[in-house]
Structure 1
Amino acid sequence: MDPVSLVVGALAVGLSETVTSAVQDAYAGLRDALVRKLSRDRGEDGAAEQAVQALEVQAADPESLRTSVSAAGLATDEQILAAAQRVLQAADPAGARVGKYVVDLREAKAVQVGDNPTMTVNF
């Protein structure tokens, strides 16, 4: 799973109305990590909280959310990626056991990870 998909998936799962308390707790950790990252980037907690709320609203539109997560640099922050993995692990323990939510793209170029992806690469 690529880092952007990891964060987007965790946001979508965490906002679902049918999550367990373990997923809710993991999502609270992800949300806190997002606020911390955006506070550092934007310089104030209020703006960061509003930005996270905007991301949560975008969860209904995955492509828009992917664009926002990518543009904000959220998928490059190790704390956010770890928190997102915890959300998905809590939501899908079987997938976590087989490594579905492991992201390691060191020195990767034109990598595609995930279920049913398509890609065009021009170097």
Structure 2
Amino acid sequence: MDPVSLVVAAVVAGATAGLKEQAQSAVRDAYLGLKNLIVQRHGVEVGAVERRPDSEAKQESLREDLADAGVGEDAEVLGAAHEVVKAVREHDAAAARAVGVDLNDVDAELIRIVNVKVRGDATGVDLDRVRTRGGIVIEGIQVDGGDSPAHP
């Protein structure tokens, strides 16, 4: 994952987990530290992603603003982003989900993923460090919350 995408992912994870009332203080503290660094050092606001962390448009806009601000070269911000991801994995049960398709470090002409069904507190498709020349097609993903406490 490129450095700016890591920071965006950490903001999304922190906004999703760290701002919940029941969030562990470790998650909340790590996220607020990252957010403060981004705002104070680079003048980039993350409020739009906080309000709508699932919005790809908001994430892409933040990615562009962070790249323009040079956040990818700020070692302290990258370290804080890693801390957020680590805290979310350790303290937020929703982050420890099952994944239907999990691809890491893939280089391919074309990737096509269809008809994935997962149940419980799960993610249909998770891609990390994936490079394609012909694109990625993802269709027919179904996530059934089932008996998961996160999905009553």
5 Å-filtered alignment, 1:20-99, equals 20-38=24-42, 48=43, 51-54=45-48, 56=50, 59=53, 60-61=55-56, 62-93=59-90
Compute the RMSD of aligned alpha carbons: 2.7
Paired residue total: 91
Greater C-alpha radius of gyration: 2
**1:118 aligned to which of 111, 116, 131:** 131
Counterpart-to-counterpart distance in 1, 2:52 and 2:61: 6
**CA offsets per residue over residues 20-76 of structure 1, 9 Å max, x none?**
3211110011012112212xxxxxxxxx3x734356457433222222221121121
Which structure features the higher share of helix residues? 1
Aligned equivalent of 2:97: none
Unmatched runs of 5 consecutive residues or more in structure 1: 39-47, 94-113
Counterpart-to-counterpart distance in 2, 1:119 and 1:64: 22
TM-superposed CA distance for 1:116, in Å, is 5.6
Shift of the 116–83 alpha-carbon distance from structure 1 to 2, 3 Å rule, reads closer
**Structure 1 contact 29–83 (Cα < 8 Å) conserved:** yes
Amino acid across the alignment from 1:10: A
Using the size of structure 1 for normalisation, the TM-score is 0.59
Which structure features the higher share of strand residues? 2
| Higher relative contact order (Cα pairs below 8 Å, separated by 6+ residues) | 1
Unmatched runs of 5 consecutive residues or more in structure 2: 91-126, 134-152
